[in-house]
């Protein structure tokens, strides 16, 4: 009985413990499931606009950046405005405040620093000059040694600030103050000009020249950062000029004409209260107001059909022809010959490509600023580069484009220079802002400002602008070429130089830009922001917060709402892969999936579609046996399609390929590149054997150059998912060979000889010059649609094959290759020919001479019967850099067993080698499109394998 009872008790205990274990197991399983579901099913309401997004934190929970005073989301690690690391700003503010307090306490004769002095980074150079002028006793009497060390530390911290941080730290330097007439005037926050004269008089009368620390800092600040502020205004005849800020009254009201097809009505709002709101509230208010400007789709919309190879020209013609009310209509962008649903992705791609072309310095409209951090400024020579009749129209087009991007809440891929942003907002601009345009000019001006003996510099009242390598002298004042700069007039000279660079040289262009911009977005509405907030609004956040990305991503499973264990593991692997990426690779992944490389100011929760509604980032799984292994993107829907990978390593391999992608094909598999081979000695692709070491030895390249030339620089782009269609690109290939060629090697190329028959020294320019002089004198003709058509380039067939027929015409080959190209062609053959089997032998080539960007070759495939099927085509480019575009064939003859890239583009430069191999000619066409901004010549040599 007793034994039986003991067994029963033991069994009960075991059952109880087992039940507890099972309960804990199921509780843990439920917890894990909920954690995983939190990654998947945390969704915002679907049909909302940005202004309807709610923040889950109060203003008190935000953290304030110590550099720029911007309030950031509590989960942000970097300041959205100036990219300062959270907590690092204390090194600039908190720690130095304590050092300052200690130094001032230890010296009773030093006056306390004003609160504005907290933000000054010191003037150590001026203090040393003061000490040398007044002696060490002056430092002892006016500045404590601790104060001196404090300023040295502050100076060091300032020197470490980036241009972005420096600009952001000054964003509240000026403030609008209401006046009795209902208008506003700008007042400098740190020190107003109203009492500057009295302070200077007091300093001059200070006995012994002993200044207090506070007054000394005020004086030196006034000499540098606190220079006169100027605002651009319209003069009596409508031109833009600069007036001193304290004499300009500004209107701080939001005046808007609501336009429609029938008429307009005016709305007036005072912006003072809204201007003081935290930035997230400003953004919500701004989004609400710009949506009021939108004209409903049903009331009419505009469709822009543009050609990719004439993108800038077509877009310019369409947009400039629009009436004012059409600028606020909804737009639909279509690339000619590429039907696609524009739910946002196509327009984002259009904006990205168009901004890149429009702001390209080679086009002539804008220039890059000179300094560490690149931004764009108006080109003062645009009238000479684009044409006096056209350049202002293009600036009007640029203004409309920027305004439309703001109106549609699309992020710009380019940054405007700080003075440009200030002009847009009508904010005072001062001498120190010159450093955000050109570091060299600013530093030179500072030197002129500080040195005593200025006459040896031989300066006069002129400035120089360089156009196409030619210097053009511009007078800063009337008769300036005859006025020497002296100590007495240098302030006037620097003032004139400053005004010339920030407005005088570009006033007409700026006026055209601003007028067009305000036609789309009212000027008063933009005044809501300071210049750094405006840049954040226009360009978004440059760094990607992975935690924010996780929080605002949805997942769609192969079986709806029933994720498998492998799918859930794929989610975890994906975020681990993203976290391990560098920021620049995360940017490429984001651009691949959404068409934009930036995150909006609201973070990932603010991603939108073309109708302005929030469309969250989403990932769709395509099963364990999909027809593809590479990620796919649907930029219109902010969607990334992924197969279900078997391991994290496999996922990482394919996801990381996106770092080499080019953006935008609206749903098709994009350009996929990988390194040529893990074996540096030899690798094989289809029928072509590349022996890098042998090729380098033949070309007389040093061993050290082998790896760099054939592994680090060279890339392979796969055009199909089965990797049977590919393009191999080696930048500067022939330049490497030429630079390391021996005289004997070059002598085989039949270069110029002198009167005694001796070979002349061969220069890189000699190659192009000799090859260019051999181009045919007349344009050839081909048959197109049954009619003879003149080729938009010069062309000559060369080689051993005798004749070659294409485009309805038979061409006889010239046996000798053009002078200047023979040396290069010898090495082109050596790289791909296999002497043992002769399975790839380049027997002939086509030479094309492109006079400028107006010469081109249209989409075609080199798949004629005279050529060996699937043999490699080896091309060398000399001269100007041109776009080389691949597009997928849509004919019935195109292979259907593998998914193909819809479009890929390469930039082919001077000396570049390119090999098109495998089934590329079966799956894709290639072209060298027109390039209006290119005015330089180019030569291409295309070697082929003929029967």
Query: Looking at residue 579, what is its pLDDT?
Result: 92
Highest mean pLDDT among 211-220, 691-700, 754-763, 918-927: 918-927
Radius of gyration of the chain (CA): 33
> What is the spatial distance between Cα 52 and Cα 47, in angstroms, rounded to a whole number?
10
What confidence score (pLDDT) does residue 42 get? 43
CB 399 within 8 A of CB 378: no
pLDDT-derived band at 735 (thresholds 50, 70, 90) equals confident
* Residues with catalytic function: 636
What phi-psi label fits residue 417: left (phi over 0), alpha (psi between -120 and 50 degrees) or beta?
A: beta
- What is the Cα–Cα distance from 669 to 722, expressed in whole angstroms? 12
Report the distance separating Cα 344 and Cα 636, nearest Å. Answer: 5
Most confident among 26-40, 690-704, 879-893, 907-921 (mean pLDDT):
907-921
Topology of domain 251-434+506-539 in CATH is Hect, E3 ligase catalytic domain fold (3.90.1750)
Q: Which CATH architecture has domain 546-670?
A: 2-Layer Sandwich (3.30)
- Which one, of 792, 799, 791, lies nearest residue 821 by Cα? 799
The percent of residues in the chain predicted with pLDDT above 90, rounded, is 20
Percent of the chain with pLDDT over 70: 68
Count CB neighbours of 664 within 10 A: 23
pLDDT single digits (tens) 449-501: 888 888 888 899 999 887 766 778 899 999 999 999 998 999 999 999 999 99
CA distance 568 to 644: 10
Confirm if 685 and 916 have CB atoms less than 8 A apart.
no
Domain ranges within the chain, ordered by starting residue? 64-228, 251-434+506-539, 546-670, 682-750+767-944
Residue 576 pLDDT level (bands cut at 50, 70, 90): very high
The pLDDT of 920-947, averaged and rounded, is 86
The per-residue DSSP string of 274-290 comes to HHTS-HHHHHHHHHHHH
Does residue 689 carry a pLDDT above 50? no
Asked whether residue 147 carries a pLDDT value surpassing 90, the answer given is: no
Predicted local confidence at residue 700, as pLDDT:
37
Q: Is the pLDDT of residue 275 over 80?
A: yes
pLDDT tens figures, 578-608: 999 988 888 888 888 888 888 888 888 888 8
Q: What is the value of pTM for the model shown?
A: 0.62
Q: What is the pLDDT of residue 774?
A: 85
Q: For residue range 4-33, list pLDDT tens digits in order.
A: 777 777 787 788 887 887 877 766 666 655
The dotted CATH code for 682-750+767-944 is: 2.60.120.590
Most confident of 220-229, 572-581, 748-757, 930-939: 572-581
pLDDT in the model for residue 681: 31
pLDDT in tens, 531-559: 999 999 999 988 888 998 999 899 988 87
The pLDDT value recorded for residue 662 is 44
- Cα–Cα distance for residue pair 616/639, rounded to 1 Å: 9
The pLDDT mean for the chain works out to: 74
Q: Is residue 127 predicted with pLDDT exceeding 60? A: no
Judged by average pLDDT, the poorest of 36-40, 293-297, 308-312, 365-369 is 36-40
pLDDT at 203: 38
Q: Where does the pLDDT of residue 260 fall: very low under 50, low under 70, confident under 90, or very high at 90 and above?
A: low
pLDDT at 60 over 50: yes
- 221 vs 190: CA distance, rounded Å: 10
Q: How many other C-beta atoms can be found within 10 angstroms of the C-beta atom of residue 602?
A: 26
Question: Alpha-carbon distance 604 to 553, whole Å?
Answer: 8
Q: Could you give the 3-state DSSP secondary structure of residue 596?
A: coil
Q: What average pLDDT score do residues 755-773 get?
A: 69
pLDDT confidence of residue 51: 60
Give residue 218's pLDDT: 42
List 185's β-bridge partners, or say none. 177, 249
Query: Which of 658-662, 749-753, 769-773 is the least confident region?
Result: 749-753
């Amino acid at each position: 009985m007793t034994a039986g009872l003991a067994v029963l008790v033991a069994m009960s205990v075991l059952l109880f413990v087992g039940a507890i274990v099972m309960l804990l197991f199921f509780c843990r399983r439920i917890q894990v499931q909920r954690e995983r579901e939190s990654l998947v099913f945390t969704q915002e309401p679907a049909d909302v606009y940005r202004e309807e997004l709610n923040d889950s934190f109060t203003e008190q929970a935000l953290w304030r950046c110590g550099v720029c005073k911007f309030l950031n989301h509590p989960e942000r690690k970097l300041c959205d405005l100036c990219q300062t690391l959270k907590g690092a700003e204390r090194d600039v503010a908190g720690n130095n405040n304590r050092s300052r307090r200690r130094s001032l306490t230890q010296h009773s004769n030093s006056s306390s620093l004003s609160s504005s002095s907290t933000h000054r980074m010191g003037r150590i150079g001026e203090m040393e000059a003061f000490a040398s002028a007044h002696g060490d006793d002056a430092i002892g009497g006016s500045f404590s040694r601790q104060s001196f060390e404090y300023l040295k530390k502050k100076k060091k911290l300032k020197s470490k600030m980036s241009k972005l941080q420096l600009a952001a730290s000054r964003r509240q330097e000026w403030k609008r103050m209401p006046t009795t007439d209902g208008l506003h005037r700008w007042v400098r926050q740190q020190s107003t000009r109203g009492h500057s004269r009295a302070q200077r008089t007091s300093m001059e009368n200070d006995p012994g020249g002993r200044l207090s620390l506070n007054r000394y800092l005020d004086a030196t600040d006034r000499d540098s950062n606190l220079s006169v502020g100027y605002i651009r205004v319209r003069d009596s005849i409508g031109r833009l000029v600069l007036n001193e800020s304290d004499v300009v009254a500004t209107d701080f009201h939001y005046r808007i004409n609501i336009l429609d097809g029938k008429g307009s009505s005016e709305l007036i709002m005072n912006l003072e209260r809204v201007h003081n709101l935290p930035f997230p509230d400003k953004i919500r208010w701004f989004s609400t107001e710009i949506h009021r400007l939108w004209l409903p789709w049903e009331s009419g919309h505009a469709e822009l059909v543009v050609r990719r190879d004439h993108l800038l020209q077509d877009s310019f013609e369409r947009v400039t022809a629009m009436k004012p009310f059409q600028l606020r209509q909804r737009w639909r962008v279509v690339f000619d010959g590429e039907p696609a649903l524009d739910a946002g992705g196509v327009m984002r791609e259009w904006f990205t490509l168009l901004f890149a072309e429009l702001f390209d310095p080679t086009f002539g409209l804008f220039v890059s600023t000179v300094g560490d951090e690149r931004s764009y400024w108006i080109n003062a020579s645009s009238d000479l580069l684009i044409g006096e009749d056209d350049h202002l129209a293009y600036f009007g087009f640029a203004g409309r484009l920027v305004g439309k991007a703001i109106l549609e809440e699309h992020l710009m891929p380019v940054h405007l220079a700080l003075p440009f942003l200030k002009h847009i907002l009508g904010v005072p601009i001062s001498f120190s802002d010159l450093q955000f345009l050109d570091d060299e000019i600013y530093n030179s001006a500072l030197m002129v400002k500080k040195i005593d003996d200025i006459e040896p510099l031989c300066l006069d009242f002129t400035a120089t602008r360089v156009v196409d390598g030619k210097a053009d002298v511009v007078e800063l004042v009337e008769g300036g070429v005859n006025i020497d700069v002296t100590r007495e007039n240098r302030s006037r000279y620097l003032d004139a130089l400053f005004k010339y660079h920030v407005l005088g040289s570009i006033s007409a262009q700026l006026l055209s830009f601003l007028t067009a911009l305000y036609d789309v977005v009212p000027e008063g509405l933009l005044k809501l922001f300071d210049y750094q907030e405006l840049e954040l609004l226009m360009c978004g956040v440059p760094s990607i917060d992975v935690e924010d990305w996780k929080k605002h991503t949805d997942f769609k499973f192969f079986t709806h709402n029933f994720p498998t264990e492998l799918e859930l593991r794929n989610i975890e692997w994906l975020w681990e892969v993203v976290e391990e990426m560098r920021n620049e690779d995360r940017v490429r992944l984001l651009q691949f999936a959404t068409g934009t490389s930036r995150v909006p100011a609201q973070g990932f929760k603010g991603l939108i579609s073309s109708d302005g509604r929030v469309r969250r980032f989403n990932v769709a799984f395509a099963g364990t046996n999909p027809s593809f292994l590479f990620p796919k993107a649907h930029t219109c829907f902010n969607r990334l399609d992924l197969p279900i990978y078997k391991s994290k390593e496999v996922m990482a391999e394919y996801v990381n390929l996106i770092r080499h992608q080019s953006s935008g094909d609206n749903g098709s598999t994009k350009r996929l590149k990988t390194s040529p081979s893990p074996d540096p000695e030899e690798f094989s692709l289809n029928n072509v054997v590349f022996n890098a070491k042998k090729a380098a030895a033949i070309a007389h390249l040093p061993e050290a150059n082998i790896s760099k030339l054939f592994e680090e620089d060279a890339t392979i782009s796969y055009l199909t998912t089965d990797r049977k269609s590919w393009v191999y690109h080696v930048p500067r290939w022939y330049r490497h060979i030429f630079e390391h060629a021996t005289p004997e090697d070059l002598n085989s190329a039949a270069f110029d000889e002198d009167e005694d028959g001796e070979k002349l020294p061969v220069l890189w320019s000699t190659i192009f010059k000799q090859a260019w002089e051999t181009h045919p004198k007349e344009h050839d003709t081909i048959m197109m649609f049954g009619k003879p058509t003149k080729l938009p380039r010069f062309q000559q067939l060369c080689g051993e094959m005798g004749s070659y027929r294409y485009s309805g015409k038979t061409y006889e080959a010239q046996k000798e290759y053009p002078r200047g190209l023979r040396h290069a062609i010898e090495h082109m053959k050596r790289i791909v020919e296999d002497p043992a089997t002769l399975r790839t032998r380049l027997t002939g080539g086509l030479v094309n001479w492109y006079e400028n960007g107006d010469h081109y070759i249209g989409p075609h495939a080199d798949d004629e019967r005279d050529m060996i099927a699937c043999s490699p085509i080896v091309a060398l480019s000399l001269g100007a850099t041109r776009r080389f575009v691949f597009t997928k064939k849509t004919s019935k003859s195109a292979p259907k067993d593998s998914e193909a890239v819809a479009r890929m583009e390469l930039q082919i430069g001077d000396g570049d080698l390119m090999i098109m191999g495998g089934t590329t000619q079966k799956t894709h066409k290639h072209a060298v499109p027109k390039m209006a901004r290119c005015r330089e010549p180019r030569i291409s040599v295309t070697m082929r394998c003929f029967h």
